Amino acid sequence: MFSEASISVARHWAGGGVMVGALAVLGGCQTGSPAPEGLNTERMEKSFVERDCPAGRCATVEVESLRFPGASGLSEQLRDELLSMGSGITNGESDVVASSWKEYAQTFFDEAKAARERVPELPGYQAVFKAEIYDRHAALTTVKLDSYVFTGGAHGMPLTEFMVIDERERRVVTLDDMLREGQTPAYREALSRAHLRWLEKQQADADFAESWPLSMNRNVAPFADEWRVRYNAYDIAPYSYGQPELRIPAEALEGIAKPRYLER
């Protein structure tokens, strides 16, 4: 069971995390801000803290997300995608995606409690989720979804995914939607060239490139002047490199991407 209270939130993203108190759940009280092209956003914050746990080792779940008034389907897609990013990371047996933040928090706390029974000195589990507008141009909105889940060990696991929304059609689009038919191999070639530029910038040697080969990636944010392709930790580099982001100039995508996704 959780107790619940409301807090007010700003019309735009502000720096800093959410302050949480013991045994508290802070629900979001939202205000809307009109976005260009008519897609409105509301900011939503929630925070959950485990009950009946050792001082300093209680598990927490913090959420800073967005909703789209008048576009409930997009709001649900965003929520479900964030929830899925926090599933299957812990050592628990359940990797079923929760249907709500409250359900996710309860499952997370149950796993934390079971882990402490095995290892009493285990630090508190922590799960942090955030959604924010990453880019908006030409009636395209890209939302950056971030999660960080810590369940002991040297560090937690960060994940980032892009949610690209066509504001004209009020739908989420994928890489397949953005590419011309039959141009996936050409996209891979452009991605490979971007990877070579990234390796050069990192001053990586041949052994590094062989140990951490490039993999196909559909996690694309289409900016006006370039496409940004984000990889997660361990995908193409060690954890210490963070989450590499390869950049493909817009001119390199001419004939590969549909004109809609190269609009300035």
Q: What is the CATH number of the domain that holds 198?
A: 3.90.640.20
Residue 245: give the domain boundaries.
175-262
Exposed e or buried b per residue across 25-58, where buried means at least 16 C-beta atoms within 10 angstroms of its C-beta = bbbbebeeeeeeeebebbbbbbbbbbeebeeeeb
**What local confidence, expressed as pLDDT, does residue 97 receive?**
81
pLDDT along the chain (264 residues), means of 10: 34 33 34 54 96 93 96 96 81 66 96 94 95 96 97 92 96 98 98 98 96 97 98 97 98 97 92
Q: Check whether residue 224 and residue 151 sit in a common domain.
A: no
The number of domains in the chain is: 2
User: Beta partners for 44?
Assistant: 65
pLDDT of residue 88: 64
Same domain, 90 and 211: no
Choose one of 173, 190, 218: the last residue of a domain: 173
Asked which of 120, 144, 173 is the last residue of a domain, the reply is: 173
Single pTM value for the model: 0.83
Contacts of 262 (CB under 8 A, 6+ apart): 222, 250, 253, 254
Same domain, 169 and 179: no
Query: 48 has which bridge partners?
Result: 25, 61
249 and 187 part of one domain: yes
